[in-house]
Chain A
């Protein structure tokens, strides 16, 4: 089954900069895919198209059978709930503790609070942060913040995990820990798409890889 199907996609920003040109790509359910390339090559843009953060200028992006390009605005939040998003800059909310950050996607989806709390703790446990559940994110190290972001991304059991440079600022030990996490999720059937230019991570996980250069897939 195909989770994400991208065909003949172009993305041109106002002002004429062409971020992506003629991209075609299928991601199968349960697959792990690495998108590599230099910064500015278009990796992040490709991820943003998948999560309907950006819309393609031309071509189609189909996620779980839904065409993202023609999706109405009110449908987008529900499409996004299929995804777990991991950001390089974590995008944690600093006005609440680790536990509440992880609760957020469940709260948004209208989950029962008690069942939600159970799941949130399970997710925190999975990334090894259960003992820090009361901690404000600002007191966590860079690696811990990234793991917290991952816990938030997986707590609502998404079918697809999208991660943009998840090990970008981390030292090798932390990076390898996070690599293991992604492998674990992939092994339980989650589709994982990762944009990275970290060769260690690829060597560790041995995923399918595509490389983007100047907005085009070259391998």
Chain B
């Protein structure tokens, strides 16, 4: 068992030294892998940050409940009572139709037109602050309010947030597609790198097989090499995104000051970073395995 570990350790250092002894060629390979990974990963990081940003932009999503035009005072009061008892809201405000008309008159500059109206076209309304801010929660509230008697229409002023959410969902699909395509490219890259290595070491492979090396022994250095190239590519992608985020941050600061929003661009967290790099290592291993398998079978 100790011999087995020692043998693995030697193979590991052998693969490392192989990377170090031809740095330029390997650096180029690593760069290719790094860029291929940085694209989908960077997009993923961008989406995460956009989501956070969207949450910051709508701190108090409001729901407007418009009553039916002919709602009496009683019906309006009943709705007020239901709102007071509702657990999902933090506050509400009644806007009587007369006040709404007065507001419109004074603010819109359409005073003359409105004054010429024979009757008030506006309904009574409630403006409600919801406790939860996510799009599905707001939609649930909206559906609930719509069913109440005397309610004509419910508007959620964070509709744009919902639209952003569905756009981000599209973005996530794009990340997945891009990730799969470039993951394949990564496998192809390591496949080719390892194939070239096998070609230059073909004699060596034949000799060790003649003197009793198992397939596992022959494969081992190549698998290590592939995983290392993958890992290095993953680290490179991570660094590229980090640098990109710093650059973005500097550009965003003045803009954020202008809007008075705290901007904190987040990189992948520790666990996601580890997954990403492991994934890259796995893809490298995969490419190496396919390559060396193909050689052994022939």
Q: Chain A: residues with CB nearer than 8 A to chain B?
A: 51, 53, 74, 77-78, 80-81, 83, 85, 91, 93, 95, 104-105, 107-113, 152
CA distance in complex: A77, B2 (Å): 21
Report the interface size for chain B: residues with CB under 8 A from the other chain. Answer: 19
Contact of B214 among A74, A111, A112 (CB under 8 A): A74
Q: Contact at B2–A112, with CB atoms within 8 Å?
A: yes
Given A93-B204, A95-B204, residue A108 in contact with residue B211 (CB < 8 A):
yes
Q: Contact at B211–A85, with CB atoms within 8 Å?
A: yes
Given A91-B207, A93-B204, A95-B204, residue A110 in contact with residue B212 (CB < 8 A):
no
Q: Contact at B210–A110, with CB atoms within 8 Å?
A: no
B92 sits at the interface (CB 8 A):
no
Task: Give the shortest distance, in Å, between B30 (CB) and chain A (any CB).
Answer: 23
Q: Which residue from chain A places its CB closest to the CB of B217 in the assembled complex?
A: A108
A/B interface sample: 11 pairs, CB < 8 A? A51-B210, A53-B210, A83-B212, A91-B206, A91-B210, A93-B203, A95-B204, A107-B10, A108-B208, A109-B212, A113-B6
Chain B residues contacting A91 (CB-CB under 8 Å) are 203, 206-207, 210
CA distance in complex: A53, B217 (Å): 18
Q: Contact at A110–B4, with CB atoms within 8 Å?
A: yes
Q: Which residue from chain A places its CB closest to the CB of B4 in the assembled complex?
A: A110
Q: Which residue from chain B places its CB closest to the CB of A75 in the assembled complex?
A: B214
Contact of A80 among B3, B203, B212, B215 (CB under 8 A): B212
Chain B residues contacting A110 (CB-CB under 8 Å) are 3-4, 7
Task: Give the shortest distance, in Å, between B157 (CB) and chain A (any CB).
Answer: 69
CA distance in complex: A80, B4 (Å): 19
B213 sits at the interface (CB 8 A):
yes
Contact of A93 among B207, B212, B217 (CB under 8 A): B207
Chain A residues contacting B208 (CB-CB under 8 Å) are 104, 108
CA distance in complex: A107, B207 (Å): 13
CA distance in complex: A104, B207 (Å): 10
Chain B residues contacting A113 (CB-CB under 8 Å) are 3, 6
- Ranked 9 nearest A-B pairs via Cβ: A80-B212, A81-B212, A77-B214, A110-B3, A108-B213, A77-B212, A91-B207, A112-B3, A105-B211
Task: Give the shortest distance, in Å, between B142 (CB) and chain A (any CB).
Answer: 65
Chain A residues contacting B211 (CB-CB under 8 Å) are 80-81, 85, 104-105, 108, 152
CA distance in complex: A105, B210 (Å): 10
- From 199 to 227 in chain B, residues with beta carbon under 8 angstroms from any chain A beta carbon are 203-204, 206-215, 217
Chain A residues contacting B207 (CB-CB under 8 Å) are 91, 93
Q: Contact at A77–B3, with CB atoms within 8 Å?
A: no
